[in-house]
Amino acid sequence: MLVILNRYFYFLLIGLFFFIACKKSANQTPQLPTPAATLQGTASFPMGSAVTSYNLLNKYNYFTTLLTEYNSLTADYEMKFDQTEPQQGSFNYTAGDAIVGFAAQHHLRIHGHNLIWHQALPAWVINFKGDSLAWENLFKNHIEGEATHYKGQVASWDVVNEAIRDDNGALRNKDVNAGDGSIWRQHLGPDYIARAFQYTHEADPNALLFYNDYGQEWGGPKLDSMIAMLTKFKNRGIPISGVGFQMHIDIHVDTARVSSALKRLAATGLMVHISELDISLNPSNDQSLVLSNQLLYQQAALYQFIAESYRANVPAAQRYGITTWEFSDGDSWLVSWLKHKDWPLPFDSDYKKKSAYYSLQYGLTK
């Protein structure tokens, strides 16, 4: 709270100095105050947001805020398997092309999300019947098709998403809970992840390639397994560039574990991307919860901490950037998809800056 108040006093002082300057002799040209800093203008690395083509093309306050504050975009869901290959061999890139075209028009970086995941699969994949060679062809053709289509346009990819189980760090295989198993591991064996990186690199040798997952802040077997996998890939010469640390967290997160995870991931020598950041105020989805200043201050302090910890624990050359999963509360997946009563992002539903915005900005410079 003290940090937030200090920031408000800072802006008040700027206004006072400008007033004094304007009272000087008319023969002197007054110095105009520096325009209010933005997230992209403050950070020494890219600041990104997940986006949808509909919001980019139809919401004025959405795209104007985005262009002011961010210089990197991640496709929210419109580059996933079920969207891009709804029928076998029949690709549909309409929505993804709209996002990529918007980014090119405004000189923004595009991070592709994602090529291989155990969710967001079309019915034809789920119901596919074939031997191991047929599955390999299906797998390879999708990766090569999409990566080739966006060659030279997409700077980087989440090649494989969320392949590691939460409980014991093993690769997802058969379902533990409904939807938790991986159809890819079942039919392609444990080395399918490495082959996904190889196929993507062959299709687009200049793209940076990431493994993306959640739960690193828990530590334990999942993080241990992830780091072991990443290290083996590097030692084998698998073309992997970085790791995505999703960071869908809430206000009860153990901050010491977040810093420890960032430090351990950075020690792999790979780039580290905070790839899907949001901070829930209502993880239990209590419908009676009333938004309070105390909750907003807790969230703001955590946004500041994330920025500071990222800068403290990840060397500058390995910082691929911080990406929030959308940027306005009303567009959050927690609110719009899971139907939670929540306020997880730096802007409110009217695209106005929250305390979290100012604290995040402060953390980018402190």
3-state SS string for the chain: CHHHHHHHHHHHHHHHHHHHHHCCCCCCCCCCCCCCCCHHHHCCCCEEEEECHHHHHHCHHHHHHHHHHCCEEEECCCCCHHHHCCECCECCCHHHHHHHHHHHHCCCEEEEEEEEECCCCCHHHHCCCCCHHHHHHHHHHHHHHHHHHCCCCCCEEEEEECCECCCCCCECCCCCCCCCCCHHHHHHCCCHHHHHHHHHHHHCCCCEEEEEECCHHHCHHHHHHHHHHHHHHHHHCCCCCEEEECCEEECCCCHHHHHHHHHHHHCCCCEEEEEEEEEECCCCCCCCCCCCHHHHHHHHHHHHHHHHHHHHHCCHHHEEEEEECCCEHHHCHHHHCCCCCCCCCCECCCCCECHHHHHHHHHCCC
Active site residue 146: no
Active site residue 136: no
The catalytic position among 85, 146, 217, 276 is: 276
The catalytic position among 162, 217, 308, 326 is: 162
Any idea which residues carry the catalytic annotation? 162, 276
